[in-house]
Structure 1
Amino acid sequence: MKAIIVHEFGGPEVMRLEDVPTPAPDAGQVLVKIEAAGVNPVDTYLRSGNHAHAPALPYTPGKDGAGVVQQVGDGVTEFKAGDRVYTAGSISGTYAEFSLCEVTHLGRLPDNVTFEEGAGIWTPYATAYRALFQKAGARAGETVLIHGASGGVGIAAIQWATHAGLTVFGTASSDEGKKLVGDQGADRVIDHTDDGHLEEVRKLTDGRGVDVIIEMLANVNLQNDFDGLSMFGRITVVGNRGSLEFNPRVVMGKDATVYGMSLFNAPAKDKQEIHRAIFDGFDQGYLKPVIGESIALGDAPRAHQQVIESKAFGKIVLVP
């Protein structure tokens, strides 16, 4: 089969399309024919070696994908050959024509969801759900500010939050991105390149500030986020690309709570809750990924370059 292989950590160029043996499932495992693979910012951190969970070399990137069950190992009763699934993890990686998964990595893909959309499910929607509900405890009637709302996680957060009855402010910078955020149902779209955007947040909340902030780029925004946060507000940090000088007094002054999170750390019971919520959301139609671009598997380096650009627009997927 064809697969992207990383032999050394580095830039996007270290990813190469190679011929490798197709894996066979052992007991409790499932082989999935990948129709589309999701590309996430965390994939770029892992590839560069700048992540606490850096994989052993060589490896095939990717945990998110969607496709059809090709073969099941002994003891697998939850799925059978021909079932449509999305992946929430992978043993062998999803940037490939086939991916070997533990049965617990898989979720059923509703018939009304395409494979490309399915490839954009797990990391964005699980991250957004965990950030909003399992960490920040967001609830109906509250107001949430979603930074970088035109990217995959941002779009997912808008959809989750609006369905849950929150008032949603979403930030973006490009005209295309701002239109997308509005189209997804945000109550107000804010240009985060405007130095006064947090003042706008305060005005929109009658000076009170928002209850929850979902922070995608903490090294740039976190210090200033407190200018737009309410007393006793909560911030969930889901993305960061560097260090910052931070004054803890801004947290103390508002009795605020800052949560860090990583899907790698989510316990099994939380993941089970997320899987159930995802299936319900897609089955009922209030969740739907926006695909920014579909890129051929061999062009994975270009996909990685695009996913880390600041003007995110929808989900990037690889197609074998």
Structure 2
Amino acid sequence: MWKVVFSCSLVILALSATLHVSFRAPPVTMSRSALPTVMNAIRVARFGGPEVLKLESNVPMPQPSEGQVLLRVHAAGVNPVETYIRAGTYARKPELPFTPGSDAAGEIADVGAGVNNVKVGDRVFTRSAQGAYAQYALASAGDVQPLSAKLTYEQGAALPVPYLTAYRALFLRGAAKTGETVLIHGGTGGVGTAAIQLALSQGLRVLATGGTDAGLDMLRTLGVHGAFNHRQSGYTEQIHAATDGKGVDLIVENLANVNLDADLRLLALGGRVMVVGNRGRIEVNPRDLMMAEGDVRGVMLFHTTPEEYVTSYAAIQAAVDSGHVRPVIGKRFPLGESPAAHDDIINTSGALGKLVLTVE
């Protein structure tokens, strides 16, 4: 009898030691009964410029219903689409007033009925927070993902839209294959750095463009095979030469209204352009597309199916575990400086990673 107890004790001690080494201790969280009744949140009462983003301190705390979780937000990702929604120029307009943001990382503060995939205190990130620019936000339990202990909350907030978009552009829409050459046009921003890391993780030869010396240095640090200044005259010839005149197999395009015409002349035979970002119209010569027998394909994360989300998250989590994915955080703004963050993401002269809001 004593031998059995002693053996069980050794097993428990061994497991405890293993868990202690492999995982961080869970964060200390308040009990459900200690949750506040009001919170700080950014509210938008009318569509307009960044100035309509107002920090309010008495916003009622949301309560999770069946199938929902309440997330204590520590960081929120800022995406260009949120500036269009705020301005009222996006195709879908939220009901006023509203709290912007969908990308968030934090810890589970409460769960609704029927939720058993996460528990209070878990570190998670999500693409579907119902108002991420706040201290607390609701999300569907099925849309929260475990946040690796290898990543900070800020890095977790940088994962959803940028990495899901990059994966969709590269592999779901772009059908990238190991050994192909991909050009990440605008490689220094959130989606750009995500695309670089995911492409390198799958054995692609990666070329990328930036607009500043600091941006080019960052691209080289990320491990690209070639970094080019898209503000420099003749940069497309340099890219073409880097492919020995064959052209690139795949382009991830973050500003199509500026670059698409030149993109078509960079394509290898059968090459594809994935349009991820665009802010206006552009004139192109279809003959360039004919010469390459190329494709121009739009990429919209909204069209991702549930099955594709499962595939995408699995690939991203695997790349995090292997060390290939480490979101690059560019600028950090406190929650109250959301207007400055919205101005920066549209008007910056050169992004250097993902822009996030920090939430106290």
When the two structures are superposed, what TM-score results if normalisation uses the length of structure 1? 0.97
**Aligned to 1:232, which of 270, 279, 282?**
270
Shift of 1:250: 2.4
Alignment map for 1:22-171 (pairs within 5 Å): 22-90=61-129, 92-171=130-209
Deviation digits for residues 141-167 of structure 1 (CA, Å, limit 9, x no counterpart): 100110110111111111111111111
**Structure-2 separation of matches of 1:307 and 1:14:** 16
**Aligned to 2:50, which of 6, 9, 12?**
12
Shift of 1:282: 1.3
**Structure-2 separation of matches of 1:97 and 1:147:** 35
**Structure-2 separation of matches of 1:272 and 1:244:** 35
**Structure-1 separation of matches of 2:306 and 2:61:** 28
- Give the gaps of 5 or more residues in structure 1: none
Shift of 1:266: 0.9
| Structure 2 residue aligned with 1:258 | 296
Change (3 A) 1:50 1:290: same
SS state of the match for residue 107, structure 2? Answer: strand
Q: Output the amino acid matched with 2:152.
A: T
**Aligned to 1:298, which of 336, 341, 347?**
336
**Structure-2 separation of matches of 1:9 and 1:253:** 45
**Structure-2 separation of matches of 1:35 and 1:247:** 47
| Structure 1 residue aligned with 2:24 | none
**Structure-2 separation of matches of 1:310 and 1:219:** 17
Structure 1 residue 277 corresponds to structure 2 residue 315: yes
**Structure-2 separation of matches of 1:284 and 1:201:** 30
SS state of the match for residue 85, structure 2? Answer: helix
When the two structures are superposed, what TM-score results if normalisation uses the length of structure 2? 0.87
Asked which structure has the greater RCO (Cα within 8 Å, sep 6+), the reply is 1
Equivalenced residues, count: 319
Deviation digits for residues 11-39 of structure 1 (CA, Å, limit 9, x no counterpart): 11110001210100000000000000011
Shift of 1:10: 1.4
Assess if the C-alpha contact under 8 Å between 2:210 and 2:216 holds in 1.
yes
**Structure-1 separation of matches of 2:52 and 2:83:** 11
**Structure-1 separation of matches of 2:190 and 2:60:** 32
SS state of the match for residue 252, structure 1? Answer: helix
Shift of 1:94: 0.3
SS state of the match for residue 159, structure 1? Answer: helix
SS state of the match for residue 35, structure 1? Answer: strand
Assess if the C-alpha contact under 8 Å between 2:73 and 2:105 holds in 1.
yes
SS state of the match for residue 206, structure 2? Answer: strand
Assess if the C-alpha contact under 8 Å between 2:105 and 2:126 holds in 1.
yes
Deviation digits for residues 70-90 of structure 1 (CA, Å, limit 9, x no counterpart): 000001111100000001112
Q: Output the amino acid matched with 1:48.
A: A
Task: Report which stretch shifted further, 196-205 or 232-241.
Answer: 196-205
- Give the gaps of 5 or more residues in structure 2: 1-38
| Structure 1 residue aligned with 2:31 | none
Task: Report which stretch shifted further, 287-296 or 247-256.
Answer: 247-256
**Structure-2 separation of matches of 1:270 and 1:38:** 22
SS state of the match for residue 208, structure 2? Answer: strand
Identical amino acids, percent of aligned pairs: 47
Q: Which ranges of 4 or more aligned residues in structure 1 deviate by more than 3 Å? A: none
Shift of 1:195: 2.5
Deviation digits for residues 167-220 of structure 1 (CA, Å, limit 9, x no counterpart): 111100111111111100101100000121111111111111000000000000
**Structure-1 separation of matches of 2:142 and 2:299:** 21
Deviation digits for residues 259-290 of structure 1 (CA, Å, limit 9, x no counterpart): 10111111111111111112111122210011
Q: Output the amino acid matched with 2:333.
A: I
**Structure-1 separation of matches of 2:241 and 2:93:** 43
Q: State the Cα RMSD in Å.
A: 1.1
Q: Which has the larger radius of gyration?
A: 2
